[in-house]
Amino acid sequence: MRQAVGGLVAMMLATASVLAQSPSADDIAARNIQRRAVEAMIWGMPAVNAELMLQAMLRTTSAKVNEIVYWSRPVNWKNQTLTPNPDAIYLMSFWNVKDGPVVIEIPPAQGGSIAGNIVTAWQMPLEDAGPEGADKGQGGKYLILPPGYKGEVPAGHIALQSDTFSGFALLRSNLASHGDADVAKSVAYGKQIKVYPLAQARSPPPTNFTDAYDILFDSTIPYDASFYRSLDRVVQNEPWLDRDRAMIDQLATIGIEKGKPYNPDQKTLALLDQAAREAHAVLEQRYDAGFPVINPGIRWFPAAVAEMVKAASGGYADPNAYPIDARAVTYTLGFTGVKRLGTAQFYLMVAKDKDGQPLKGSATYRLTVPANAPVRQYWSATVYDRETHALVRNMPGASRASISPGIEKNADGSVDVYFGPKAPAGKEANWVPTDPVRKFELLFRLYGPEQPLFDHSWKLPDVERIATTIGGATK
């Protein structure tokens, strides 16, 4: 009996201790905001990524929606989008179909070609354009339809049913080389693209093109409370998708509700800052853990995770899969969605050298691209800032490609590409500069990839560290 009473007293004391340590109502509310904000950032990453690019265009150029912003030369570091391609001419159209369907007209692949992707506000691919897209190089009128559209689709159009009111088309005009004549030719071909409302299809107005080259166009992801203001704009402007309705209450907890102003107080902003940093850490940890590699024993991995590519290209139709974690990591690294990945282009990425060490801007590395690279067009190797996933700021160049001027081949047809703060002697034509105080990552692009990449008979080897530069001395 004495033991039973003693046990009961001990239990009561333990319960009292737990109750004394229970969080207050204010603590519970704060924790609720923070944890839901972490999940909101992970869920909302692709839409905010697109929204940030739209706002950068509106803020820094005179371009408007349903027009085209373009870069009249291959992009330099002032294009601070995520992992842009400095070996193509970029054209982008941020479309909006709230007032009715919009046509994006792609010219036939004669005297040039487009590698294009048309995506929704959530960067879900609607269709690819160009020789590897729905028009198969014949040119085509891609007709973007608003959510719930019930009107007629005129003959001769490629109808794309969107579930959002807005999105964008990333249209790369392919380059034969970096020579001035080829650049001018690529730009002129890209300017044959037309964007106009379907209502004006009988007599389309001229498409307005705005050049953003050499303008600081910054759409890098802010891992702070400002992210949620961008997310609020998405919620206010776009319809709720059935697959995302579970987020309605989650977002209301952090002050984002459709039809209501978003005005977080200072206490909430501080919690959102903390949540953004935590979400960033979660996504960085997943990226650092590594994606599945393309070839066993070699560190290069496809930049898009297979489960996410499958889900997005299928319109997230599988009711048993919704890989928002993989999607979030993907859209911290880049932008757009590809309907047929592996046809027009394929991307390999790496942030570590052969020995598993992070790539440091203070060291010198060599990548040997084997002969007979499996591409119909070109390959390229590009340096990006490991922290921002954008081009490294203030660098005179960012990539070397098989179409780069003066690039030198080895006797066996392979190409050595060097990365470091200073070019190895006599290797300037094959060198990409790095910032000695920044870590970096590499993206290897294959435009027009061919079967040896996929059957693994051609393999891209690891990046090897060959020297470290410290205080002007090489070790």
Average pLDDT over residues 386-413: 97
For the domain with range 290-474, which CATH number is right: 3.90.1200.10, 2.60.120.600, 3.40.50.1370, 3.30.200.20?
Answer: 2.60.120.600
- Report domain extents, the chain: 26-53+221-287, 62-214, 290-474
349 has a pLDDT exceeding 90? yes
467 has a pLDDT exceeding 90? no
Which class would CATH give 26-53+221-287? mainly alpha
Average pLDDT over residues 390-419: 97
85 has a pLDDT exceeding 90? yes
- Which CATH superfamily hosts domain 62-214? Domain of unknown function DUF1254 (2.60.40.1610)
Asked whether the beta carbons of 344 and 401 are under 8 A apart, the reply is no
Q: How far is CA 77 from the centre of its chain?
A: 16
| Run of H or E residues at 285 | helix 266-289
Window from 63-67, 300-304, 369-373 with minimum mean pLDDT: 300-304
- Give the pLDDT band (50/70/90) at residue 1: very low
263 has a pLDDT exceeding 50? yes
59 has a pLDDT exceeding 70? yes
State the pLDDT at residue 342: 86
Rounded to 5 degrees, φ, ψ at 144 are: -90, 120
What region does 435 belong to: left with phi over 0, alpha with psi -120 to 50, or beta? beta
CA 269, 28, 243, 304 dihedral sign is: positive
Residue 262, judged by CB atoms within 10 A of its CB (0-12, 13-18, 19+), counts as: middle
11 has a pLDDT exceeding 80? no
The count of other CB atoms within 10 Å of the CB of residue 133 is 24
State the pLDDT at residue 304: 84
CA 91, 97, 98, 99 dihedral sign is: positive
State the pLDDT at residue 6: 55
Computed over its alpha carbons, how large is the radius of gyration of the chain?
Answer: 25
**Looking up tokens 């001229």, which residue turns up?**
206
| 459 Cβ contact partners less than 8 Å away, ≥ 6 residues apart | 295, 298, 370
Average pLDDT over residues 116-122: 98
State the pLDDT at residue 471: 45
19 has a pLDDT exceeding 50? no
12 has a pLDDT exceeding 70? no
102 has a pLDDT exceeding 90? yes
469 has a pLDDT exceeding 70? no
In b/e form, how buried is each residue of 374-410, taking b as 16+ CB within 10 angstroms? bbebbbbbbbbbbebbbbbeebebbbbbbbbeeeeee
State the pLDDT at residue 179: 95
What is the C-alpha separation between 358 and 145, in angstroms, rounded? 45
Average pLDDT over residues 183-199: 98
State the pLDDT at residue 473: 46
Window from 26-30, 74-78, 118-122 with minimum mean pLDDT: 26-30
HSE-CB at 332 with a 13 A cutoff on CA atoms is: 27
What is the C-alpha separation between 85 and 345, in angstroms, rounded? 12
What is the C-alpha separation between 430 and 279, in angstroms, rounded? 38
CA 301, 302, 304, 305 dihedral sign is: negative
State the pLDDT at residue 57: 98
Could you check whether 62-214 and 290-474 share the same CATH topology? Answer: no
Average pLDDT over residues 46-73: 98
State the pLDDT at residue 13: 56
Which of the pair, 443 or 10, is modelled with greater confidence? 443
CA-closest candidate to residue 415, choices 460, 382, 455? 460
- Give the pLDDT band (50/70/90) at residue 199: very high
How many angstroms separate the Cα of 235 from the Cα of each of 228, 244, 246, 258, 416? 10, 11, 13, 6, 48
- State pLDDT tens for residues 154-170: 999 999 999 999 999 99
State the pLDDT at residue 9: 53
State the pLDDT at residue 18: 47
What is the C-alpha separation between 336 and 309, in angstroms, rounded? 12
CA-closest candidate to residue 345, choices 411, 265, 444, 249? 444
| 73 Cβ contact partners less than 8 Å away, ≥ 6 residues apart | 89, 183, 213
Report pTM: 0.92
State the pLDDT at residue 408: 97
